[in-house]
Structure 1
Amino acid sequence: MTGTRMVVRVMDLADDPAVWAEYDAAHARGNTPQPVLDAQRRHGIADMEIYRAGNRLVMLMYVTDAYDPDALDAESVSDPAISEWHKRMGVLQRAPFSDGTGWPEAPPVFRQSEHP
């Protein structure tokens, strides 16, 4: 995508297949609340994909120069529909590291295009 860059984030779910199914269903087409999607787009997320392998989630965000995670976080707290979504998903999620950071960014360690 022209004018965008990729941001990769990771998160874990509770180690329970029922939780995985609930998370997958919540993210199925038509189930993510429109205010959540609108806020993401308004704050520079051009596209987002979440992949799941067991309880591990990997989020790929394609963001524009307008990407403003702080403004998105602030709106997420102040908008009841978005806040409720995050609370609902937060019950299913487990921070992948001991510091408790949710959805930490994963910097690149390998890029095939940089190798002959």
Structure 2
Amino acid sequence: MKRYCLALDLKDDPQLIAEYEHWHKAENSWPEIRKSILDAEILDMQIYRTGNRLFMIMETGEKYQPAKKAEMDADNVKVQEWEQLMWKFQQPLPWAKEGEKWVVMEQIFQL
């Protein structure tokens, strides 16, 4: 199992942040998105928020490959629809590469 930690910012607007959280409640999530996550061998995913900063923790299986997940997402109409909807709320980190949303964080400490 491997752990990935990623960060992304939301637009600093309380109404947009509330709407973003609405879409991430279990009863409002899209089953196609959950399936795409599980199909990529992402075993657990959690998102935390402080202010407008998001932090995601992903636990993946041995077969998970970020490039393969990106390829699968690009070919999935519902994932693309979801990404377009989410972009209404999200903004890239100042140091993100062109077109990059979630930025992989570097571990700097472990007890």
TM-score (norm 1): 0.88
Equivalenced residues, count = 109
- In the other structure, the counterpart of 2:65 is 68
CA distance in 2, matches of 1:5, 1:41: 15
Where in structure 1 are there 5+ consecutive unaligned residues?
none
Runs in 1 of length 4+ with deviation above 2 angstroms?
97-101
Distance in 2 (CA, whole Å) between partners of 1:106 and 1:47 is 17
Counterpart residue number, 1:109: 108
The separation in 1 between residues aligned to 2:54 and 2:37, in whole angstroms, is 18
Q: CA RMSD in A?
A: 1.2
SS of the aligned residue for 2:59 comes to strand
Residue by residue, what CA displacement relative to the aligned partner does 1:32-91 show, whole Å, maximum 9, x if unpaired? Answer: 211111111111100000001110000000111111222221221221111100110012
- How far apart, CA to CA, are the structure 1 residues paired with 2:62 and 2:29? 24
Tell me the secondary structure at the aligned position of residue 30 of structure 1: helix
- Point out the more displaced range, 73-82 or 53-62: 73-82
Residue identity matched to 2:57: L
Rounded to whole Å, the distance in 2 between the matches of 1:15 and 1:61 is 24
Q: Percent identity over the alignment?
A: 28
**Pairwise CA distance, 1:97:** 2.2
Q: 2:20 aligns with which of 20, 23, 26?
A: 23
Comparing 70-79 and 23-32, the one that deviates more: 70-79
